[in-house]
Amino acid sequence: MKKEVREGYKMTELGEIPSGWDIVDLKEVLNLLKDGTHNPPNRVETGVVMLSAENIFNSKVNFGLNEKFISYDDYYKMHNNYEIEKGDILMTIVGTIGRTAIVECDYKFTVQRSVAILRSNEKINNYYLEKFLSSNICNKQLIKRSNSTAQAGLYLGELGKIKIILPSTKEQKKIAEILSTVDEQIENTEKLIQKNQELKKGLMQQLLTKGIGHTEFKKTELGEIPKAWEIKKIEEICEILDSKRVPLNGKQRLKMQGDIPYYGANAIVDYINDYIFDDELILIAEDGGNFGEFREKPIAFYVKGKCWVNNHAHVLKAIECENSKWIFYNLVHKDITEIVQGGTRAKLNQKDLRNIKIPFPNLDEQEKIALILSAIDKKIEQYKYKKEKLEELKKGLMKQLLNGNIRVI
């Protein structure tokens, strides 16, 4: 049965859109469509920055990440008839296809073959175009037109055939403004997350080694700590509950879908309808953990309440006279690379886990320090939740605005 089209709308290959809007090929709204060099010149110590697809993410051109440089002579040979300009759109076209960013700087740089350069003409607002190119409407087309080799790629000829929904320039501008406002809120929230994570990192370095209000310190195998503190092994302060773990395969979990977290080496793997534990626990990876990336990624997790744990994470329960969060904060970014065994899937065996040492103040100080760090964790989680909701809002707005389901004029 043919779908009835609403009054004031028309049916197109991209679905129902307002009658006054058009569908055009991407190449029709561009003055420039190029990709980066296919034969990168020799690298030099300093010169002109050459970026690749890995520098295009989060709708930004990210300088300072694995930057490579070419000479000015090579740059001018490559760009003898055009240069990347402020306002151009960059799109990744090799590997992860479709990440986009608008060039906001006005200094010279170039790109490799993995990045396409798009310059809009007078028919389209470049900010609207960037939003459209990052939408699901466009992404589906990019996937269809890319090759299916081990490393996906998209030729410029195919990119130029991507269909674009084209409102009036006035409405394009308004749509871009609305989405850019949400993007700005997302970016500001991300900055708050990063600011608080840096604050937490600094406080952890201070509080977990110097404590609160101490003036006398002693040198130990773990470094300088307050004179009143002790050093204890995990086996002295925790009960190890590994024998209670039960691994479940994907088919088993599929039959047990629910809202109780199922943990593996690196946090929650799935949600199921049953539990093994209902307690305050510390989980630390047994194998497959982030041991080599301990500074940036956690190797331990604090859990409270019902959960199921598989055999890729050790399960620790603090004895009654110790604070679980103090133990967790001492383990979460601890360097244990010297004691984990194996290569590609390093393993922390239970014997070595039992012998891990951490500094210990009295219970009152443990609780005070844990409270300070927990307060920052709570704030970070609140900002992360806000960012998640803003991203959901943006996704919903894009779906409604880019096809004209919601009009803004």
Tokens describing residue 175: 């749509």
In a domain, 339, yes or no: yes
Based on the domain organization, do 187 and 159 belong to the same domain?
no
Tell me the pTM.
0.85
In a domain, 239, yes or no: yes
Based on the domain organization, do 245 and 112 belong to the same domain?
no
CA dist 304 and 182 (Å) reads: 34
In a domain, 3, yes or no: no
Based on the domain organization, do 306 and 246 belong to the same domain?
yes
In a domain, 16, yes or no: no
The confidence score (pLDDT) of residue 1 equals 56
Based on the domain organization, do 162 and 178 belong to the same domain?
no
Based on the domain organization, do 33 and 160 belong to the same domain?
yes
CA dist 387 and 382 (Å) reads: 9
User: How many structural domains comprise the chain?
Assistant: 3
Q: Which amino acid is at 132?
A: F
> How many angstroms separate the Cα of 62 from the Cα of each of 59, 102, 105?
9, 11, 11
Q: Of 232, 243, 186, whose CA–CA distance to 59 is shortest?
A: 186
Based on the domain organization, do 257 and 200 belong to the same domain?
no
Q: Could you tell me the CATH number of the domain that includes residue 388?
A: 1.10.287.1120
Based on the domain organization, do 350 and 234 belong to the same domain?
yes
CA dist 357 and 194 (Å) reads: 30
In a domain, 96, yes or no: yes
Based on the domain organization, do 280 and 395 belong to the same domain?
no
Grouped pLDDT means (10 residues each) for the chain, 409 residues: 83 95 98 92 94 94 91 94 96 94 95 96 97 95 83 90 97 97 96 97 96 96 96 95 95 95 94 96 92 91 96 94 92 92 82 95 95 97 98 96 93
- Among 166, 181, 197, give the residue marking a domain's end: 166
Based on the domain organization, do 186 and 206 belong to the same domain?
yes
- Among 341, 360, 379, give the residue marking a domain's end: 360
Q: Of 123, 120, 112, 52, whose CA–CA distance to 85 is shortest?
A: 120
Q: Which residues contact 364 (CB under 8 A, 6 or more apart)?
A: none
Q: Could you tell me the CATH number of the domain that includes residue 347?
A: 3.90.220.20
In a domain, 71, yes or no: yes
In a domain, 209, yes or no: yes
Q: What is the CA radius of gyration of the chain?
A: 27
- Domain limits for position 395: 168-214+361-409
In a domain, 162, yes or no: yes
Based on the domain organization, do 236 and 333 belong to the same domain?
yes
The confidence score (pLDDT) of residue 292 equals 86
Based on the domain organization, do 161 and 30 belong to the same domain?
yes
Based on the domain organization, do 77 and 146 belong to the same domain?
yes
The confidence score (pLDDT) of residue 150 equals 61
Instruction: Indicate if the alpha-carbon torsion angle 361, 363, 368, 373 is positive or negative.
Output: positive
The confidence score (pLDDT) of residue 84 equals 96
Let me know if 352 is exposed, middle or buried by CB neighbors in 10 A (0-12, 13-18, 19+).
Answer: middle
